[in-house]
């Protein structure tokens, strides 16, 4: 394998492959790259000279529809925390009619009091995961172990649709379930406004990942986006897990087919750096409002630019779509073969999952697979999630299904 | 200059010097290092094989007194957020008598409600700066621009001593001021307990940096540490700005001369990676409670290990102490020369500051100095802070004082 494959392989969190690459690997021999590795700049005040170009080559070359701005951050949690702050700032500026803050705003915020620190909220969904710092954690509702013992905010939590799979076989029931959840979203927005804690933003994953690979239809997301618009809340799509190509599109929200899918899209993981894209109006009105010392790490943009080159040159999104279809087909077959063990196979691209009879069996399957050389992860209460790298091809699918089938036979 | 100087120089946020280093620089040619650069592991679940050794060589070789554990993080805010979480978890485990959480704990935390998300608080100080994510921001009180429009927590905020400089000339008044602040701390702890929002931890900087380079005496910190112990609150020393050698000791809290200075010490910036040290009892009782995907970046430990080698080999802490004394002496002289312009010169090591007549003059001095090739930063309302790199020697002090003196002459 070549050095480029090495880069693509490291995009996944579930493979760590040590493959030698050539000593003349240009990333380590060009002076400007070496400088980017050794120097860790305070990006917000002293970016390297070529930083805008590097952003154009890397992050901005894959900007979501309607967004030409990006803010880098060092990790996924910081990305979402700062995205929330951008939404709060935007919302309060609207409320103030874009006038300058009052003296009371300025003095009360210093001691954590309203109106300077306003009673605003972010609406999130049960089963969602958006990180573990205290702002993010107030919108995370996937497992108690993440949240226990940490103080939180009184923010609204809506139900995420619990759909039946395959989605296309249960369209009527699924549409009803989605309508129920959307109605609840609107009720919560009204309730929290009445409580004096308006919803400044809605945050959602295109596929609830940590919470159990829960899908919803494009129709659900379109209607939700419209509800946000109608009530003056910003719409934040968290693509930390789903972004980077694994669903067969670069961003999972592209499957919704919308020109204006979101006000903010956050990312991390496969993107090798954290950060968020945003629409022009979500730009903070003053410097130093969205800011910290490092604001990311420019050396990661160099890696990302290389990864994007490989994705394009090798048509990896098409490959992901192809191997994802084969993977899901294989999971359907295994589900037919082991109806007491498996259910609800689902996925988009290679971002697939399947439910296992119970938690204990799920964990045993993950351990047995590991002993046979396949790293799987759990999500939700009793699901297994599949997160292969972008270089996972059809023949890898067959290799995997053989191993998985053997492991399942031991558990039937 | 050699490559090693390059590393030391990049430790500061205020110099960006591009000096070529040899192509055979071992960091980029050894296989294991290249692997550390290219692979970005999910450290919490798949650390590189040699990660414990690398931590022993780097972060653990400079662990504060009484601490043998370290948790790496990707940035300063995440370091403090997770340190706060560690204090909340520790505090609740004490309250529960180390019994397992109740069903009510587990279910209520999923919807942000108490007792699972308890009403606990962190006591912080007016003028403190601890980061900009939402938990950190609730303890940051240095400038309104950081906090405006972001919802916050009702947590206690104590006054930080406003001392007169040089400290040794005003011992009696300063001791009174410190006693006043300590009394207020105890009052707030009692008040917040009565409000049903007990203080799980106290967070403080050894020198309030962003807030204006505000110093307090070792006696103040010793008594504060005792107050924390007496009331069962954890004591968190935030060394994000002060750590890494710039005060002449590796950690600024070493100037207090205590065997048990803190329960938690957080760091970032000069350490090239974020994270926090902690005492054994602050270790979370279960895996995945203090956790995220990246939890830092092991390639930064390689750089830190090299930086520490240079610090030791070149006795840079002694150099900092020596050039710091010369710098402070020079500032005292300029203050005598320009009594209407300058006041309150203060510092430890090269971590120095001086107050300027007013905000506008301060900003003008910073700009003029920049035009003469010296990068200075502001802090507080009207202070200039000096933050040279560890390789800043006595002859650099004289070069700097010459330039600074010229700039001051233009403003007198």
pLDDT above 90 coverage of chain A, percent: 85
- Strands A264-267 and A234-238, bridge-based pairing: parallel
Angle value at C-alpha A286, between A283 and A292, nearest 5 degrees: 85
Q: How confident is the model at residue B25 (pLDDT cuts 50, 70, 90)?
A: low
Helix pair B394-411, B316-337: axis angle to 10 deg: 20
Judge if B51-311 and B316-411 fold alike in CATH terms: no
Mean of pLDDT values over B155-160: 98
What is the pLDDT at residue A25?
A: 54
A310 contacts in chain B (CB < 8 Å): none
Tokens matching residue A124: 């999130």
Exactly one of B54, B249, B269, B300 is catalytic; which is it?
Answer: B269
- Strands B199-204 and B234-238, bridge-based pairing: parallel
Closest residue of B to A37, CA-based? B37
Instruction: Compute the distance between CA of residue A75 and CA of residue B59 in angstroms, rounded to an integer.
Output: 20
Q: How confident is the model at residue B29 (pLDDT cuts 50, 70, 90)?
A: low
Please indicate whether residue B1 or residue A361 has the higher confidence score (pLDDT): A361
Instruction: Compute the distance between CA of residue B12 and CA of residue B309 in angstroms, rounded to an integer.
Output: 17
Instruction: Compute the distance between CA of residue A148 and CA of residue B113 in angstroms, rounded to an integer.
Output: 10
On the question of pLDDT at A295 being above 50, the answer is yes
**B29 at A interface, C-beta within 8 A:** yes
Which residues lie closer than 8 Å to A269 by C-beta, 6 or more apart? A13, A76, A240, A241, A243, A244, B293
- Strands B121-125 and B199-204, bridge-based pairing: parallel
Angle value at C-alpha A134, between A215 and B115, nearest 5 degrees: 90
On the question of pLDDT at A10 being above 60, the answer is no
**Which of A81, A91, A110 lies nearest to residue B133, judging by beta carbons?**
A81
What is the pLDDT at residue B44?
A: 84
Mean of pLDDT values over B361-381: 95
On the question of pLDDT at A128 being above 80, the answer is yes
Q: Give the largest Cα separation in chain B, rounded.
A: 70
Mean of pLDDT values over B257-281: 97
Best to test chain A binding among B112, B272, B310, B378 (most A CBs inside 10 Å)? B112
**B131 at A interface, C-beta within 8 A:** yes
Instruction: Compute the distance between CA of residue B333 and CA of residue B325 in angstroms, rounded to an integer.
Output: 12
A101 contacts in chain B (CB < 8 Å): 144, 148-149
- The mean pLDDT value of chain B amounts to 92
Which residues lie closer than 8 Å to A333 by C-beta, 6 or more apart? none
CB B163, CB B170: distance < 8 Å: yes
Instruction: Compute the distance between CA of residue A148 and CA of residue A392 in angstroms, rounded to an integer.
Output: 37
Q: What's the gap in Å between the CA of A346 and the closest CA on chain B? A: 24
A25 contacts in chain B (CB < 8 Å): 34
Instruction: Compute the distance between CA of residue B258 and CA of residue B68 in angstroms, rounded to an integer.
Output: 16
Put simply, the answer to whether B132 touches A292 (Cβ < 8 Å) is yes
Exactly one of B139, B221, B238, B326 is catalytic; which is it?
Answer: B238
The sign of the dihedral angle between the CA atoms of A8, A13, A14, A15 is: positive
Closest residue of A to B272, CA-based? A40
Give the DSSP letter of residue B237. E
On the question of pLDDT at B2 being above 90, the answer is no
Q: How confident is the model at residue A27 (pLDDT cuts 50, 70, 90)?
A: low
CA dihedral B244, B246, B250, B253 (to 10 degrees): -110
| pLDDT 10s digits, B231-247 | 999 999 999 999 999 99
Listed by start position, the domains of chain B span 51-311, 316-411
Please identify among residues 194-233 of chain A the ones whose CB lies closer than 8 Å to any CB of chain B.
Answer: none
What is the pLDDT at residue A281?
A: 96
CB A140, CB A155: distance < 8 Å: no
**B300 at A interface, C-beta within 8 A:** yes
pLDDT above 90 coverage of chain B, percent: 85
B2 contacts in chain A (CB < 8 Å): none
What is the pLDDT at residue B39?
A: 76
Q: What's the gap in Å between the CA of B344 and the closest CA on chain A? A: 25
Q: Tokens 């100095």 appear where?
A: B369
**Which of A77, A110, A154 lies nearest to residue B292, judging by beta carbons?**
A77
Closest residue of B to A199, CA-based? B151
pLDDT above 70 coverage of chain A, percent: 92
What is the pLDDT at residue B6?
A: 31
| pLDDT 10s digits, A339-373 | 999 999 999 999 999 999 999 999 999 999 999 99
On the question of pLDDT at A58 being above 80, the answer is yes
A105 contacts in chain B (CB < 8 Å): 144, 148-149
**Which of A40, A42, A292 lies nearest to residue B77, judging by beta carbons?**
A292
- CATH (residue range B316-411): 3.90.1150.10
Instruction: Compute the distance between CA of residue A258 and CA of residue A278 in angstroms, rounded to an integer.
Output: 16
| pLDDT 10s digits, B306-337 | 999 999 999 999 999 999 999 999 999 999 99
Cα Rg for chain B, rounded, in angstroms? 22
The sign of the dihedral angle between the CA atoms of A389, A390, A392, A397 is: positive
Instruction: Compute the distance between CA of residue A181 and CA of residue B23 in angstroms, rounded to an integer.
Output: 59
A151 contacts in chain B (CB < 8 Å): 88, 117-121, 153
**Please, is B247 exposed, middle or buried when counting C-beta atoms within 10 Å of its C-beta (0-12, 13-18, 19+)?**
buried
Put simply, the answer to whether A272 touches B40 (Cβ < 8 Å) is yes
| pLDDT 10s digits, A197-237 | 999 999 999 999 999 999 999 999 999 999 999 999 999 99
Exactly one of B187, B293, B372, B406 is catalytic; which is it?
Answer: B293
On the question of pLDDT at B18 being above 60, the answer is no
- The mean pLDDT value of chain A amounts to 92
Q: How confident is the model at residue B49 (pLDDT cuts 50, 70, 90)?
A: confident
Closest residue of B to A121, CA-based? B151
B303 contacts in chain A (CB < 8 Å): 38, 40
**Which of A38, A116, A145 lies nearest to residue B148, judging by beta carbons?**
A116
Give the DSSP letter of residue B43. T
Which residues lie closer than 8 Å to A251 by C-beta, 6 or more apart? A62, A64, A206, A239, A242, A243, A265
CB A74, CB B78: distance < 8 Å: yes
Tokens matching residue B383: 């202070």
Q: How confident is the model at residue B19 (pLDDT cuts 50, 70, 90)?
A: very low
**Which of A42, A132, A153 lies nearest to residue B292, judging by beta carbons?**
A132
For residue B269, indicate whether it is catalytic: yes
**A84 at B interface, C-beta within 8 A:** yes
**Which of A29, A134, A145 lies nearest to residue B23, judging by beta carbons?**
A29
- Which has the closest alpha carbon to A122: A101, A140, A146, A97? A140
User: What ipTM describes this predicted complex?
Assistant: 0.93
On the question of pLDDT at A4 being above 50, the answer is no
- Which has the closest alpha carbon to B118: B187, B193, B203? B193
A4 contacts in chain B (CB < 8 Å): none
**Please, is B60 exposed, middle or buried when counting C-beta atoms within 10 Å of its C-beta (0-12, 13-18, 19+)?**
middle
Exactly one of A72, A88, A125, A129 is catalytic; which is it?
Answer: A129
Put simply, the answer to whether A134 touches B81 (Cβ < 8 Å) is yes
Q: What's the gap in Å between the CA of B258 and the closest CA on chain A? A: 30
Tell me the helices (H) and strands (E) count for chain A, helix number first. 14, 11
Q: Could you check whether the bond before residue A209 is cis, i.e. omega within 30 degrees of 0? A: no
- Beta strand ranges found along A64-107 (DSSP E): 69-73
pLDDT above 70 coverage of chain B, percent: 92
Phi and psi at residue B361, in whole multiples of 5°? -65, -40
Best to test chain A binding among B85, B151, B385 (most A CBs inside 10 Å)? B151
Q: Tokens 């905020």 appear where?
A: B157
Closest residue of A to B81, CA-based? A133
The count of C-alpha atoms lying within 13 angstroms of the C-alpha of A127, restricted to the half-sphere facing its C-beta, is 19
Name the 3-class secondary structure at A174: helix
**A42 at B interface, C-beta within 8 A:** yes
Give the DSSP letter of residue B272. S
For residue B129, indicate whether it is catalytic: yes
What is the pLDDT at residue B31?
A: 59
What is the pLDDT at residue B35?
A: 72
**Which of A76, A105, A147 lies nearest to residue B292, judging by beta carbons?**
A76
On the question of pLDDT at B205 being above 70, the answer is yes
Instruction: Compute the distance between CA of residue A77 and CA of residue A274 in angstroms, rounded to an integer.
Output: 8
Instruction: Compute the distance between CA of residue A97 and CA of residue A269 in angstroms, rounded to an integer.
Output: 37
Which residues lie closer than 8 Å to A233 by C-beta, 6 or more apart? A91, A123, A189, A199, A200, A201, A202
On the question of pLDDT at A83 being above 70, the answer is yes
For residue A372, indicate whether it is catalytic: no
Q: What's the gap in Å between the CA of A214 and the closest CA on chain B? A: 17
Domain spanning B51-311: which CATH class is it, in words? Answer: alpha beta
**B269 at A interface, C-beta within 8 A:** yes
A274 contacts in chain B (CB < 8 Å): 74
What is the pLDDT at residue B37?
A: 74
Distance of CA B54 to the CA centre of its chain: 23
Put simply, the answer to whether A151 touches B85 (Cβ < 8 Å) is no
CA dihedral B13, B16, B19, B23 (to 10 degrees): 60
What is the pLDDT at residue A38?
A: 75
Q: How confident is the model at residue B33 (pLDDT cuts 50, 70, 90)?
A: low
CA dihedral A50, A52, A54, A58 (to 10 degrees): 180
**B121 at A interface, C-beta within 8 A:** yes
For residue B280, indicate whether it is catalytic: no
| pLDDT 10s digits, A250-266 | 999 999 999 999 999 99
Q: How confident is the model at residue A29 (pLDDT cuts 50, 70, 90)?
A: low
- Which has the closest alpha carbon to B404: B390, B379, B384? B384
What is the pLDDT at residue B14?
A: 36
What is the pLDDT at residue A5?
A: 30
């Amino acid at each position: 394998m070549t050095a480029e494959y090495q880069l693509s392989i490291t995009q996944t969190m579930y493979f760590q492959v040590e493959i030698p690459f050539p000593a003349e690997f240009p990333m380590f021999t060009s002076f400007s790259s070496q400088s980017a590795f050794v120097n860790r700049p305070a990006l917000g005040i002293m970016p390297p000279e070529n930083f805008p170009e590097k952003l154009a080559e890397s992050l901005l070359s894959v900007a979501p529809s309607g967004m030409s701005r990006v803010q880098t951050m060092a990790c996924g949690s910081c990305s979402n925390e700062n995205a929330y702050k951008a939404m709060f700032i935007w919302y309060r500026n609207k409320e103030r009619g874009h006038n300058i803050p009052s003296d009371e705003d300025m003095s009360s915020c210093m001691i954590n009091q309203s109106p300077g620190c306003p009673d605003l909220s972010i609406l999130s969904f049960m089963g969602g995961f958006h990180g573990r710092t205290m702002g993010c954690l107030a919108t995370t509702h996937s497992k108690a172990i993440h949240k226990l013992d940490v103080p939180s905010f009184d923010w609204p939590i809506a139900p995420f649709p619990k759909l039946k799979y395959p989605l296309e076989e249960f369209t009527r029931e699924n549409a009803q379930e989605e309508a129920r959840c959307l109605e609840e979203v609107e009720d919560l927005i009204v309730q929290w406004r009445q409580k004096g804690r308006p919803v400044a933003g809605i945050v959602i994953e295109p596929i609830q990942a940590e919470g159990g690979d829960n899908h919803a239809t494009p129709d659900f997301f379109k209607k939700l986006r419209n509800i946000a618009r109608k009530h003056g809340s910003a719409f934040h799509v968290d693509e930390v897990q789903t972004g980077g190509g694994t669903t067969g599109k670069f961003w999972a929200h592209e499957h919704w087919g919308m020109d204006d899918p979101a006000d903010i899209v956050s990312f991390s993981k496969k993107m090798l750096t954290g950060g968020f894209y945003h629409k022009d109006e979500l730009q903070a009105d003053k410097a130093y409002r969205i800011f910290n010392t490092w604001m990311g790490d420019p050396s990661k943009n160099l890696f990302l630019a290389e990864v994007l080159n490989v994705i394009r040159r090798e048509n990896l999104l098409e490959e992901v779509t192809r191997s994802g279809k084969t993977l899901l087909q294989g999971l359907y077959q295994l589900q037919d073969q082991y109806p007491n063990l498996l259910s609800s196979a689902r996925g988009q691209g290679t971002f697939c999952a399947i439910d296992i009879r119970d938690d204990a069996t799920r964990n045993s399957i993950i351990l047995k697979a590991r002993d046979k050389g396949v790293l799987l992860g759990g999500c939700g209460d009793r699901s297994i999630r599949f997160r292969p790298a972008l270089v996972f091809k059809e023949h890898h699918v067959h290799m995997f299904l053989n191993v998985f089938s053997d492991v399942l036979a031991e558990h039937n």
